[in-house]
Amino acid sequence: MYEVYALKYGERDTTTCQFFHREATHDKLTLHYFVWLILGGPKPILVDTGFKDDDARARGIRNYVSPATVVERVGVKAYEIPIAIITHLHYDHWAGHSLFPGAEFWVQQDEVAFWTGPWARYPAFNQSANVPTLADLVTLNYANRMRIFDGDREVAPGIRVYRVGGHTAGLQIVTVETDRGTVVLTSDASHFYRNVETRQPVQIITSLPEMLAAFETIDRLAGTGKLIVAGHDPLVADRFKTVESGVIKIA
């Protein structure tokens, strides 16, 4: 059976009005930045790659630790990871790809098409882009390190991805079968528990109906076990077991 870890690599403070859709209040809101690691199979499987120190400096991230370092805290060398599921191509999920030089990257076709297509350059979207690492998609593809596909897929027995879209064009979420039940890694289909639990969207959107439908998908996949891991919520550390600083064991 698999074990799932949320590994925190940074934090950033913002306000509720900057984040939730049509939110009027200005309360402080802290985002935590995670990569997730699935152990217990023949090889570790990473979910998202985080970003490197250039983005950490440029975007005012505090307590930044390289994602390559945080995976070592659970005994995994970054270069030994053969598969990285990429939930979407925002900088905080993709810009660290070169930290994982042995990985094949599993990403939705709609996501690649969006970031190489006509709308990505507009300010509504480009603030979430690390452009050189998006250009790397082409180089990596010709090096046979991209697994670009469309729709729901089994990555390994007991590990599945589901294309939900909404926040980005090809956002995918991940389920993992564990001793505790089905874990749902929502990534940015639900940045905070508040998103999925109150059906409140975030402000960065490619399809509002898809975003709302993704909340339904998360609940359906999680079932009664409710092992839902929100994408950027500090509450993940309270709802699951913190093993050491920045290392949260989900199951």
181 bridge partner residues:
178
Nearer residue to Zn ion within complex by CB, 55 or 188: 188
Nearer to Zn ion, 91 or 178 (CB): 91
CA atoms lying within 13 Å on the CB side of residue 166: 30
Nearer to Zn ion, 32 or 145 (CB): 32
| Site residues, Zn ion (CB under 5 A) | 92, 188
Burial 149-183 (b: 16+ CB within 10 A, else e): eeeebebeebbbbbbbbbbbbbbbbbbbbbeeebb
Residue pointed to by tokens 């439908």: 213
Cβ–Cβ < 8 Å for 128, 204: yes
Q: How many CB atoms lie within 10 A of CB 124?
A: 13
- Residue 191 CB, shortest distance to Zn ion, in Å, is 7
User: Rounded distance, CA 15 to CA 163, Å?
Assistant: 29
Shortest Cβ 205–Zn ion spacing (Å): 13
- The nearer residue to Zn ion, 48 or 178, going by C-beta atoms, is 48
Contact between residue 61 and residue 14 where contact means Cβ atoms under 8 Å apart: no
CB of 188 to Zn ion, least distance (A): 4
CB of 106 to Zn ion, least distance (A): 17
Contacts with 34 (C-beta within 8 Å, 6 or more apart), sequence order = 6, 7, 8, 9, 48, 50, 231, 232, 236
Q: What values do phi and psi take at 82, rounded to 5?
A: -90, -20
Q: Which is nearer to Zn ion, 13 or 80 (CB)?
A: 13
Q: Minimal distance in Å, beta carbon 61 to Zn ion?
A: 12
CB nearer Zn ion, residue 97 or residue 178: 97
Closest separation in Å from C-beta 165 to Zn ion: 15
Nearer residue to Zn ion within complex by CB, 67 or 178: 67
Tokens representing 18? Answer: 């900057």
Query: Rounded to the nearest whole angstrom, what is the least distance from the CB of residue 43 to Zn ion in the complex?
Result: 25
